[in-house]
Amino acid sequence: MNLVLCIHPFLLTFQTLANLTLIWLRQYPNVSFVDITNTHAQCPAREALCRNCNKVGHFQQVCKSNQSDKRVVSCTKLQLSTVCTASFPTSLSKAVVQITVNGISLNALIDTGSSDSYICSNIAYKHCWHIYPSNFVISMASTTYISVTQGYCLGTVDYRGNRYSSVKLSLLPNLCSDVLPGHDFLKQHQHILISFGGSQPPFSLCSQTAAYVEPPKLFGNLSPL
């Protein structure tokens, strides 16, 4: 039976690799050595994202970057030709508004079912915004579907003359809108008004449970004749 041994050349010096090759060839003449640099497509770390430096191409365990320098993701290697703003479904147009984030005009889908605010990751990469590392697992409406954030950025949001500074926007890929403002952003206001143009009266939400109180008797101290 022929065995195949894969050795990454970057993990060993040339002399050490040569010595190991001689030792293995003497003990196991049927072993074939494969240089995985010639088969980069089969490398398991080819598309891996390092959680230490946020760079693609290696795992966190072998990262040589300084762990204290975890600030910005380099955007020099991104394929910017594939970056485009997300197009929202027309059925959600009633809840979509135009905002600006760091001076860039974007579509924002008001998401009252989200605890945090999100932005399409391609937008942050395209404009080379400062991206801070984070990898929180996000549960969707169906708990069987999850996604992982690709970091977060702090942006200045402008909407109808109101300015919000240092708004935390977590990065998610393939969003249905450019920005999804969640409860962390919406809770700054007393009310969020969305007009649907229906014929029924306003549908109001109240976080307090309705209390049932028995009405008092007007003449409880009197007895019938």
What is the rounded average pLDDT for all residues in the chain?
A: 73
Residue 203 has what pLDDT? Answer: 83
* Secondary structure (3-state) at 118: strand
Alpha-helical segments (H) within the chain: 14-27, 121-126, 183-186
Q: Long-range contacts made by residues 25-30, C-beta under 8 angstroms, separation at least 24? A: 28/3, 30/1, 30/2, 30/3
Q: Supply the pLDDT for residue 23.
A: 65
* Number of alpha carbons in the 13 Å side-chain half-sphere of residue 58: 12
Q: What pLDDT does 159 receive?
A: 95
pLDDT of residue 38: 44
Sorting pLDDT into bands at 50, 70 and 90, what band is 26? Answer: low
Could you tell me which residues come within 8 angstroms of residue 164 by beta carbon, excluding any fewer than 6 positions away? 156, 157, 158, 185, 188
Domains by residue range for the chain, with CATH: 3-62 (no CATH), 80-186 (2.40.70.10)
As a whole-number percent, the residues of the chain with pLDDT over 70 amount to 55
pLDDT digits (tens, 9 = 90+) for 150-202: 999 999 999 999 999 999 999 998 888 899 999 999 999 988 888 888 899 88
pLDDT over 50 at 73, yes or no: no
